[in-house]
Structure 1
Amino acid sequence: MKTTISKVSEHLNEEVTIGCWLANKRSSGKIAFLQLRDGTGFIQGVVVKAAVDEEVFQLAKSITQESSVYVTGTVVEDTRSPFGYELQVNQLELIHEAVDFPITPKEHGTEFLMDHRHLWLRSKRQHAVMKVRNEIIRASYEFFNNNDFIKIDPPILTGSAAEGTTELFHTQYFDEEAYLSQSGQLYMEAAAMAFGKVFSFGPTFRAEKSKTRRHLIEFWMIEPEMAFVEHDESLEIQEQYVSYLAKAVVDNCQLELDTLGRDVEKLKNITAPFPRITYDEAVKLLQEKGFDDIKWGEDFGSPHETAIAEMYEKPVFITHYPKNIKAFYMKPDPTNEDVVLCADLIAPEGYGEIIGGSQRIDDLTLMQQRYDEHKLSGDAYLWYLELRKYGSVPHAGFGLGLERTVAWFSGVEHVRETIPFPRLLNRLYP
């Protein structure tokens, strides 16, 4: 019976055939241990010389790393294995022999591994990270579908900047200027006015010349937008969503988290509600911790976010940032117009900002004033202004950065490991 490694538990003590690759092996004179992978998981295949034909055993001893094979054997329990099963092999069929696979079990430098990313993805660690990523995506769809959100796909090519920045990739769109999207948010606001609660999931691009472990040039965002929802309610939805993701990863990625050496107890602690502090309180806390360089009205850098996060065991919301350092569309606090109704969610353990969100301006006059202050093109943003002209309502939304969340849940150091083919400042290959 043909099956996959992930399904072998359904065939205990039965003979199965699996199409797979050889990840590694070791052998003695009478037994060979094959570390096999098929994309769904990893399993050990045991080939005993006395139990198989001589040609099968010789193939088991000579087969090279990453050669592809059909392996036939009996599924048995193995309590010593984290996976819990192994394969007692009785037949091997070579499909393709790999020669001189460049990534060996020895240590390799990061640049070498990045140059061979197309092959590095096959390793057990990278497999585990991608499975965590997949679970976050799956659970995101489940959360939003369960809460009556509709998925809407915003365009990737746009004629304007979502946040009015200059960190955009420019392209020529026939006879006019265009940019790769840095956020789908503005379009999601239009969708929310049509469908109430919506979310998008897609690639975004920032031409930011940053080399930190938290930054990618191309990354994926989950961006919900909600009509008739104000700031505090949006924060509650955000913490419920992140808690849902954490539980899904803990429940469904136990083997992968074990492979990564992740402290699962820290992930189990990610439960709503999350602590909240204002920007004013954050500045005061930082100054008390010796960050004399930070002044009111300045944005926080990675060291500031990390210092604040270290004060809490859960993610922490920093709310009510100064208007002058936030995007033009954020609604001012009615009690203090110098700050806006916004929040960044800072992950613990030094992983930085995971979510940025705000209540959006819903007043037409105020939005026109913001256009003037930020020197926004009336033509490019006319459609966005009209959302405040025809049936405007209070609304809010947020964006979760997928790769930073994967890094946090996986416990990996750098976001370059959290996306299949990372685009970095000096890397466009492979």
Structure 2
Amino acid sequence: MPTAALPAEGHLLIVGAGLAGYHTARGVRANGHTGPITIFGEETRPAYDRPALSKAYLTGAVAEEDLLLDDPEDPLDVTWVSGVGVVSLSGNPEGTETLGVHTADGRFHPGDAVVITTGASALSLPVASSEQGISARPYVLRNMEDALALRETSLQGLAVAVVGGGFLALEAAATCTERGAGSVTVAAGEQLPGARRLGTAVGEAILSAHQAHGVQFAPPARAQAVRSCTRGHEVILAAGETITADVVICAIGAKPRTEWLLDSAVQLTSGHGAVMCDDTGATCIPGVYAAGDCAQWASHSSGLRPVGHWQEAVEEAAVVAAALTGADPVPLQEPYFWSDQFDLRIQGAGRIHLADEVTVVDGTPQEGNLLVHYARGGQNLGILGINRLRDVTRWRKQRRIRPAQLHSPAAEHPMTVGSHPTAAETAPTAA
């Protein structure tokens, strides 16, 4: 039986009340932990699911309560500390400093273990100066407040510019069209949205579906900045062109929310500032773990797994929960992501980001029923289906890793470490 990192009656502190934080607490309780659990979250809302923020929530099809992670009929036995941010971490690799966290209200909270699940914050375009002296920032879609601000803005007849070529940007473009925007223009930075990550045929299918609903695409040049003008706002592209719009939505990625750890003993990656962990989520400080969008596990840094998927956060939470409680190790399954855009249900599974061979197995981009296989060196690594639920589900079931396979390197990491681009460079944007 593995050794538990958290004493049976020990106090667990979870910093971050999002998907990874909630599922860590849920997993720890499911594994039999009876000690206190405290979850800290800056937002005053209960923990909620985020994928619908760019889709059903934005259209009003679902309400906030529909997105809540905790079951009001059977709530988790945890203490929620909401609306108060954590400002620093106490603890060091030598174990000579008391483990715990400091909150913005000046309090210190000691704990027997700490799990960092603070997620990531949305990146945005720089705001260029304008002759009018007005500097309105673009909308982003990272949390409930972001989505609520956009949902409460009437788009009827307005011109909308969406910056970004990932699934979040494309979902936002589709949703704005469905909400009655007069025009929607996407600045994706490439001729075919998603083609660099998923292949030409997938990019053609996405482009075709959006254009069929009236969405326009800007020339394939990266957006540089946004500025206010007499007609609303202008998105400035690298090639010199501008897109004029009444509303600008920016979906160009996210940065780990780890600024509060800069003075701690936790090691952060030099590029994005993510928390460096092994593949159990453990950091360099005993008793401190990290999971979700703020963390870079060893398999992320080696390029063997993509970063930022919804499924990845849930599975990492289960791995961390097992490590904390001494339960049997939990295997990470093949990565999985999905996106809903108009009548397209896009699902991908496997290590697509490592592939250099893309083969259309069935369907056409125009019909929106593609089935695509991804390989490297003749070895099948992944699958993507557009409106092909059965095919993708079958592939995932065949690749499912069971606990007995955990000690087989071929089962967990079939590719050679060090010979591939990193996941941060090539991973698809997750829904």
TM-score range, shorter chain: under 0.3
Structure number with bigger Rg: 1
Q: TM-score, normalised by structure 2?
A: 0.23
Name the structure with the higher helix share: 1
Q: TM-score, normalised by structure 1?
A: 0.23
Higher RCO (Cα < 8 Å, 6 or more apart): 2
